[in-house]
Amino acid sequence: MIKDISKSNFKYIYQNDESYISYELLEQVQPYFEVDLPNAEAKEKIQWFKNIFWLTTELDLGLAHAIHHNQAGRNYIEVLEDEELKNKIFNSPWATTIGSDIDLKNSSTVTIREVMDGYILNGEANWLSNVNVADYSTIPALDFEGNKFKVVIDLNTVDHTINSDWPLITGMRMARPGTIVLDNALIPKNHCLGAYGYPNKFHYVEALNATTFMTSMTANIVALWKEVHSFAKNIGRGRDLQLIDAEIDVFTMLNRWMERLNQYTLGEHEHPSEGYWIQHLHLYLFGKKTLHKVLNLSRIMGIQPHILRDGKSSRVFRNALTFSSNMYKFQDYQNLWGDENHSEIDMDLYIQYNFDKIIHNTPIPETF
């Protein structure tokens, strides 16, 4: 069982110089995050998420995000059919390999083409946290018909270039991104995990990664809310209607996140349906709306330390500002898989399906 980081002295030994994650830093956090997450018991998964939450609220979202992307890569390796690479990663000490992962991004230009001895990849995968120090990366790629696939890149064997010459980002600097450039790079056929969409064989892994992202988001909202609320109380505005309105949303988000974690005790993440992903995406966008609301309160209140370019006093705000841009857009919320023909959700059917599930234990259909 991994340890509870909130009961450790890690907060006092951690030195945040906003450098990249390293093998040495992974060794420090190993007692709190080394776990076979896809196959762990529910209580251990929940402890892992709690540790991510604590890192975000008490130390640095950038560090939590870097650990998230390291784990996301490991999660995808779990469903890889290449036993040699799996053994290379999982039979090595946990802190001696670093993973990098990126979800679907509009800026990615990586294409995939099947050939006799594997797949050829061309293009750029942008906004990859950890990629400058990673041993492997999991990225999306598009075929020439527009289908999206998830592929594994062994950075020790596949030809590639890393572009890390990015301007310094506002926040989340430990997780600051880089770009993989691929030029006719050949990967083995078993390094393609399959197509995005529902269903696929890495859906359970995606659910784990989505919960981790939701955990970081919720913790970031809570951390920023605490600073805004404290400032408002100190200037006698703690019960302004705008503060109360935001506080309701913050607690709603916190409670919904905790309900999400409880689903692991019920086994509802093991075979997530499209209904599961619809619920996730609505919660995701409610979190984005809430984070924007709290960010705007900082601006309205005029919290001057938040505008500092560097330093601890502005770190939570800078992290939140950066994180708020790292999400789905509101106008895309009906479009789960990037399918232009995806139809609008029928709200009446959605309500009926969920009541049938609660009252009659009827499974929600895989598609609506």
Selected residue with higher pLDDT from 83 and 358? 83
177-196 burial, b at 16+ Cβ within 10 Å, e below that, comes to bbbbbbeebebbeebbbeeb
Selected residue with higher pLDDT from 268 and 205? 205
Instruction: Count CB-CB contacts under 10 A for residue 218.
Output: 27
Cβ–Cβ under 8 Å, residues 123 and 163: no
What is the rounded average pLDDT of the residues 320-324? 91
- Dihedral angle sign, alpha carbons of residues 249, 255, 257, 259: negative
Taking only the tens place, the pLDDT of each residue in 234-259 is 999 988 999 999 999 999 999 999 99
Instruction: Write down the pLDDT at residue 360.
Output: 85
Where helices occur in the chain by DSSP H, the ranges are: 10-13, 23-33, 42-58, 61-78, 83-90, 203-234, 241-266, 274-301, 315-324, 347-360
* Burial class for 309, CB neighbours closer than 10 Å (0-12, 13-18, 19+): exposed
> What Rg do the C-alpha atoms of the chain give, in angstroms?
21
pLDDT over 70 percentage in the chain: 89
Helices 203-234 & 315-324, crossing angle to 10 degrees? 140
Report the C-alpha dihedral over residues 155, 142, 125, 106, rounded to 10 degrees: -160
| Model confidence at 16: pLDDT above 80 | no
Specify the CATH number of the domain 203-360.
Answer: 1.20.140
For 334, which DSSP code?
A: T
Taking only the tens place, the pLDDT of each residue in 272-321 is 776 777 788 889 989 999 999 999 999 998 888 888 888 888 899 999 99
First-to-last alpha carbon distance for the chain, in angstroms, is 39
Q: Domain ranges for the chain, please list them.
A: 5-96, 100-195, 203-360
CA gap 45, 61 in Å, rounded = 19
Instruction: Write down the pLDDT at residue 350.
Output: 75
Selected residue with higher pLDDT from 162 and 348? 162
pLDDT band (50, 70, 90) for residue 328:
low
CATH class for the domain made up of 100-195: mainly beta
Selected residue with higher pLDDT from 225 and 335? 225
Instruction: Write down the pLDDT at residue 197.
Output: 63
Taking only the tens place, the pLDDT of each residue in 163-192 is 877 777 888 888 888 899 999 999 999 999
DSSP string, 250-277: HHHHHHHHHHHHHHHHHTTTSS--HHHH
Model-wide pTM > 0.75: yes
Selected residue with higher pLDDT from 15 and 27? 27
Taking only the tens place, the pLDDT of each residue in 94-121 is 999 999 998 877 778 999 999 999 999 9
| Model confidence at 270: pLDDT above 80 | no
pLDDT band (50, 70, 90) for residue 338:
very low
* Burial class for 264, CB neighbours closer than 10 Å (0-12, 13-18, 19+): buried
Q: Which of 51-65, 285-299, 320-334 has the lowest mean pLDDT?
A: 320-334
Q: Which residues of 130-176 form beta strands (DSSP E)?
A: 136-142, 148-154, 161-163
